[in-house]
Structure 1
């Protein structure tokens, strides 16, 4: 799985400068896909300038929980350019609830830090996020989460 994420990240780093011209952050409702650990699935965001409500509904790759619902909030707090291509560093807090599987219920909290890129001509966001996870239920523990994906915004 780590190799797949690395390949996708490299493709994004190479492809994004070829498609970028200027910045146009997308607001509204976005729906797409999120590939990562511990959850893969359908991603959604509601963007309001620098603040976004986020979520993923998908299957869990760790533990006995099969289906997760992640919900949280993030804030774009830093902007930087790589050869004129704008990227945005965002941070937030996300809670995950396991809803199906051997563990009928699980709960965890994450503090992800991510990088987002918004395409100029299309209402698309590409993102990469990584962060620590605190597992609360069924047992207290720590872990790691990460995802790469894309969203199409309906404006």
Structure 2
């Protein structure tokens, strides 16, 4: 996968305008809170399903913590333009589950951010922040967010 990205990047300079060179799905990494893997599927140009699976083997309650997030997101393609680069802001709503040694937390989340898809390389970069509202076993507010990259196919 990385070798094909390297070949594509060397064959032609990355363009900043035009249609994205990607497919309807993407898989990659998310660095932040939480850190893990991410999968996204486009339902249309303006709606996405976004999933994350993250883990913390050291600092979780009781020794480990695994977090699963799923979001429905609404995008606003082309709303932000900087010179010839088009950035896509998005907002959404979703659910989250945190599993840890001895229990689990369940809640809802409200993510928002901005995404950029390259035009001749199947790569997406995105920045996301979210309000996490834990409902069970008790009410707690938290924040999440970070920087991600996905290979689009």
> In which range does the TM-score fall when normalised by the shorter chain?
0.7 to 0.9
Q: Does 1:124 align with 2:123?
A: yes
Q: Does 1:86 align with 2:83?
A: no
TM-score by length of 1: 0.78
Q: Map of 1:135-150 to 2, 5 A cutoff? A: 135-150=134-149
Which of structure 1's runs of 4+ aligned residues deviate more than 3 A?
A: 60-63
3-state secondary structure, aligned to 1:144: strand
Residue 106 of structure 2 is matched in structure 1 by 107
Task: Give the conservation status (yes or no) of the 8 Å contact 1:27–1:46.
Answer: no
Q: CA RMSD in A?
A: 2.0
Task: Give the conservation status (yes or no) of the 8 Å contact 2:16–2:86.
Answer: no
Task: Return the index of the structure with the highest Cα Rg.
Answer: 2
- The answer to which of 53-62 and 66-75 deviates more is 53-62
The CA distance in 2 between the partners of 1:107 and 1:76, in whole Å, is 26
Relative to 1, partners in 2 of residues 1:82 and 1:141: Cα closer, same or farther, differing over 3 Å? Answer: same
The CA distance in 1 between the partners of 2:148 and 2:111, in whole Å, is 14
Q: What's the CA shift for 1:137?
A: 1.7
Relative to 1, partners in 2 of residues 1:89 and 1:134: Cα closer, same or farther, differing over 3 Å? Answer: same
Relative to 1, partners in 2 of residues 1:93 and 1:83: Cα closer, same or farther, differing over 3 Å? Answer: same
Task: Give the conservation status (yes or no) of the 8 Å contact 1:80–1:86.
Answer: yes
Relative to 1, partners in 2 of residues 1:76 and 1:54: Cα closer, same or farther, differing over 3 Å? Answer: same
TM-score by length of 2: 0.79
Q: When the two structures are aligned, how many residues end up with a matched partner?
A: 135
The CA distance in 2 between the partners of 1:107 and 1:56, in whole Å, is 15
Structure 1 portions without partners, runs of 5+:
1-17
